[in-house]
A and B are shown apart, each in its own frame.
Chain A
Amino acid sequence: MNPMPKSIMPEFWHHKERIAGGKGQQFIFRNKWFLLMQATCILTLVPLVISAFLFYQSNKTETITDLVLETYVLAKGAATDVEIFFDQYLSTLQVIFSQYEGENLKKRNVLKKILKKIEKTNIRFSSLNVIEKNGSIIARYGKDDYLSGHQIIDPVQITLGQDHFIDRVIAKNGETHFIVSLKILKGTEDVFSLAGIIDTRSINAFLKKLKLKNVVDIYILDKNGILLTSSAYFGKSGSKTSLTQSNISPSSRVIPNPGTTKKNNDFLFSGISQISNTDMRLGILMSNHSFKVFMARIRSHIFIMVSLSVLFVSIAVFMLVTYLVHVLYQADKVRQVYLTKAARSSKMASIGQLAAGVAHEINNPLAIINEQAGLLQDLFTFLEEYKKDTRIISAVDSIINAVERAGIITHRLLGFARETDSCVKAIDVNETIKEILGFVQKEAEYKSIHINVQVCPQLPEIITDQGKLQQIIINLVNNAIAALDEKGTLTIKVFNNIQNEGIDIIVQDNGCGISKEHQKKIFEPFFTTKAKIGGTGLGLALTYGLIRDLRGSLELESRAGAGATFTISLPYEINEEE
């Protein structure tokens, strides 16, 4: 699958890479792109995801801390409410004692009268009891009879205990109720207690009325973890909770996620608070609903934030990596051009050496042929008996003409060999053009191409590198010949451009021309329209580079189907040291 849409596909994407050294591409750019994308994404996105995770965890911890604090405050407040509840009952007993001090509280009818009177208030004693110091009930009146004859109070609490106490009491039927007792001392010996029994149902009703926010359960338990009121989560009164002893020690505390009998409540907070002046504790269970809602909101925010960051980072990374690889690709292309240029120079130098050797070796036999033919010519010229035979003289002239032609070729080869070396010197451009045309004359003749040369008679010599200039003109002339059909015209003009302190060489053809689209790319390396016939796409790129080397410029004017005109502008002189 191609991960890159066509519209934004960089130039290097479909480049046919070669890893081999030398002139080949150094890198597989698409692989480099993938590697850089992966590395950059890992380096940027992994910290982002870790940060998001840490942010989430931090929020979770903070929220739990807030919830723990809230649970603690609510448990403490609820315990205080229960203390006030018991205090109201204790206060009632004190009022009874002060109002009925003169009457004999140990009489049942007195207790009945008192209880009837209390029923008009909010205080709901299920019975009033007068208890002797040995713990036995000596008088009682009330709805409940499950305490009759039952020793409900430890005698020590009456004789040696505090003035009052609040405690649980287990009835004969096993139910748990609460007792509020006031110690009464008449004279030095008469000690008894006035105790009121509070039915558990009253306590449960009171606890329900508290309506604490987010509290799903509220209950009272003793120091052993036994429920004294019913609990929605831990069970009925008298049940043993799953809370450990350390969790119900007499101080306010919060236990996250306590084990409860109800399922599907995987996360609750249990707040336990001591009820003052008793050995009972008040417990609450906080709902995790608000916690869940809040954490869901945090998760949603983090998800949006991370998604947007990933999107922006990915776009930025994509653009940056694509740009960097493109720059690398361009630099490698330039390197490749220089390597190709160097290889070509080296090849040209080798060809030059070879040409020089060949030319020299041919020159000597040519000189012999020339002299032998010359001798024959002399014989037929100087000796009277042969003078009249024009056929032989004509044949010898032909040999000498052929030798002359061969001599011109060897001199040209030697000239080429010399000019493969970089050498800045004074050059007659008209002469150079004539020499180059000598090379392409035959090819032009084969294609019936007319070559029109318009040299400038007063052209000054220019100081430049002859080898490079030759290569420039040869490349442009070869391109023009390639573009021309049979009977086309190649025009070469030379001007003295005094204004620009240089000369202009125009190479013009009336061939197929170059489209506007191709004109933009024609000087780029490896751009070729002749790939099928062996074009390398380096000719014009090298030509452009060579003209730049000679401190010149190259301009192109062309239209598809209307020929092309290349104008080379060269300065009169370049500094060799440049």
Chain B
Amino acid sequence: MSLINAHGITKVYRLGRVDVPALRGVDVQVEQGEYVAITGPSGSGKSTLMHILGCLDSPSDGEYHLDGADISALRGRALARIRNQKVGFVFQTFNLMPRMTIDENVALPLQYRGGFSRRERLKRARALLERLGLGDRIGHRPDELSGGERQRVAVARSLVGEPAMLLVDEPTGNLDSKAGAEVLRTFREVHNAGNTIVMVTHDMHVAAEAQRSIHIADGKIAA
């Protein structure tokens, strides 16, 4: 069975008295260890698809299995648990906690998972930061780092909980081309280490990094 198995996913938003369909029956399959890009213009529904694949939101209709678990019916607390265990998010704007050191930031998902001592969490976080070449930045706060470094901290944070997949949203959108290339290289390394990556982007150059692309337009898969 595929790692991601989404079938007939629809999502309808209710704006006042009008129903706005964002997704109209999308099928997505991603295998363990794949590197997939989801592309499409803004308003195409790719963000909505990402939210559903990332378990931040539930589909209005359709079936979604992630790593063998049926997600479609889960809400609230159960969904939070799945996010924590199976999904590692990387955002366009990094979304690091400004008042925490980068090692504390990276350790945060383990804090929410529970069962790890603070010492153990920070040990794992620091090991990951070392692996991603940020060892000399340990103990610093995000605002003391460059944009590229911050995004690599975010990658470390997404990996710390050993999730089933990384869900990446426009990872280079806030970076210059040099820092962007650096971050993309990091994703390549992470992928080569066996991780599954689903990347949402509208940038064709970025999408070219992936093994294949899923193109969304008007709430449907276009090609």
A and B assemble together: no
